[in-house]
Amino acid sequence: MPPPLAAAAALLVVPVSPAPLVRLGPSRRPRPTAIRAAALRTLPRRLELWPQRLAAAESTPPPSSAQPAPDSSSGLDAGSGGGGSGGDGGGGSADLGWLRVFPHVLTASMANFLFGYHIGVMNGPIEDIARELGFQGNPFLQGLVVSIFIVGAFFGSLGSSALVDKFGCKRTLQIDSIPLIIGALLSAQADSLDEILLGRFLVGIGIGVNTVLVPLYISEVAPTKYRGSLGTLCQIGTCLGIIAALSLGIPSENDPHWWRTMLYAACVPGFLIVVGMQFAVESPRWLAKVGRFDDARKVVESLWEPSEVNKSMEEIKAVVANDDSQSSWSELLVEPHNRVALIGGSLFFLQQFSGINGVLYFSSLTFRDVGITSGALASLYVGITNFGGALVASNLMDKQGRKKLLIGSYLGMAFAMFLIVYGISFPVDEGVAHSLSITGTLLYIFTFALGAGPVTGIIIPELSSSRTRSKVMGFSFTVHWICNFLVGLYFLELVNKFGVGAVYAGFGGVSLLTALFAYNFIVETKGRSLEEIEMSLSPATPGKRE
């Protein structure tokens, strides 16, 4: 059975028309402390108005000069015409407009594959590692080898914004591969506990940066019409990484030294990212922010529909024109950035406390009750279910929209939790109870992968302004890692004190609360360019255009 913190991260995550120029953030250095304090005092009232503002923003019709986005955008498989700013793929029967950008986002999403791989790599061999490095029988040290990864990811998330703002997404992905490669090598060659702890910490730093960077990069590079579907590559990459690690770990049952081979193998995706990103494009939004408008236009022309290039560049320039200084973390305390930061942090807080870590940890026992004694095999079933849900989400993301998938996902997770609680807490036949537990567990994983997993990472950069997008993402993922650690730390203690049924019922309740939160505070971003979303959510134009 994997330690609770090893499973804690397994299902992450780890995401149109011109408008008048609107100043979304401060054009000068951050406001004085007194103004910031006043902004904080009025925050409750502004949050009360947020649902109305979101509703107004969703219902705002685009100007007649722009082609309206269709109500049912196609996914990556088929469709015709339509699409918002950023490209539509043409009017043929087969919509292949996404192929131009796919190699670039696929290369970036290899970082998520590496994330999933490092989650799964410790699933089976942790006992062999403990035996060989001299800390066998010490559950605290075994847990530390796993949890140090989360600590590193926490610091990586905090530092990601400075790297992205300075070097851009492309170069940061390459730079970030350095701790991933070095950390994997140190772990594979470790002859002591200290060495493997250092290696895992370095890997965690790299993963912390990547979990922020990849969804941000995809949201800024992908054409609007395909942004949601392509954004699910983060979830799909993580699932494939977990499955690859579990599959590669099968020989470890007979070879106690196989774990070193598995950790050496983790270096390969890091090298591929360094080489692959050399041929990938830079984010046109970042290029525009640093004044490289000609380069930004070349990227847009190469990836997006020709008919959308001029309009898209006008929108990007209109937003960038508001930014004449570097953003700071203190701007997340003032409107409108504080609302998005609060929503981003809340989504990850609620995601973690809806029970994903607990379900992953307890799934091994659930499968063992029905005769599947191999923890690796149980985790493989979970990974395949997660992968299937992510594939369905990729097809629905730009058809049904983020908000519907998020609400439906959490409602499905709540139903699955209550199904498990019924099987555990009520007097039913043992075979029926086991069936309910298995069904509930797999249903929970599947519905999580439909929305709670991918949408959270997709929608936060979409709601964020260009000026503070990297910092909002960094803050949100920092909250995620803190909650990830806390739930993994206290889950067993809560189960021992209150019982599995009560804890799972609490998870179900949080899932229902999150569905209600999404209904009231999340705006639909499907088919709208990042610039249109940014302008429509500005307090200066609450749902109003001239």
For the chain (546 residues), the mean pLDDT of every run of 10, in chain order, is: 40 36 39 46 51 52 41 43 41 72 95 92 83 88 86 94 93 95 96 94 96 95 92 93 87 87 94 95 92 93 88 87 72 84 95 87 68 69 90 94 96 95 83 85 94 94 90 94 88 86 93 96 91 77 38
Are 447 and 515 spatial neighbours (Cβ–Cβ below 8 Å)? no
Within 10 A of 258 (CB to CB), how many other CB atoms are there?
18
Cα separation of the two ends of the chain: 60
* Residues 202, 263: Cα–Cα separation, whole Å: 13
Cα→Cα distances 457→79, 124, 188, 462, 537, Å = 25, 28, 31, 9, 19
| CA gyration radius, the chain | 23
Angle at CA of residue 476, ends 471 and 477, nearest 5°: 100
Tell me the C-alpha distance between 196 and 189, whole Å. Answer: 8
Quote the pLDDT of residue 89: 41
The residue assigned the tokens 């007097």 is 427
pLDDT value, residue 373: 64
Determine the pLDDT at residue 70: 41
What is the predicted pLDDT for the residue at 122? 82
Please give the class, per CATH, of domain 97-282: mainly alpha
Task: Give how far Cα 298 sits from Cα of 226, 279, 309, 482, Å.
Answer: 19, 14, 9, 40
112, 102, 116: which is closest to 230 by C-alpha?
Answer: 102
Helix residue ranges, H only, 26-138: 33-41, 43-59, 102-120, 126-133
pTM for this one?
A: 0.80
Domain boundaries, the chain: 97-282, 331-539
* Residues in the chain, overall count: 546
Using alpha carbons only, what angle is made at residue 138 by residues 118 and 374, rounded to the nearest 5 degrees? 55
Classify domain 331-539 by CATH architecture: Up-down Bundle (1.20)
Residue 399 near residue 73 (C-beta atoms within 8 A): yes
On whether the CB atoms of residues 326 and 468 are closer than 8 A, the answer is no
The beta-strand segments (E) located in 153-205 are: none
Q: Assess whether the region 97-282 and the region 331-539 belong to the same CATH fold.
A: yes
Q: Which of 261, 246, 280, 265 is nearest to 105 (CA)?
A: 280
Whether residue 129 contacts residue 259, with contact meaning beta carbons closer than 8 Å, is answered with yes
Q: What is the model's pLDDT at position 10?
A: 39
Tokens 């330690």 map to which residue? 3
From CA 196, how far away is CA 385, in angstroms rounded? 31
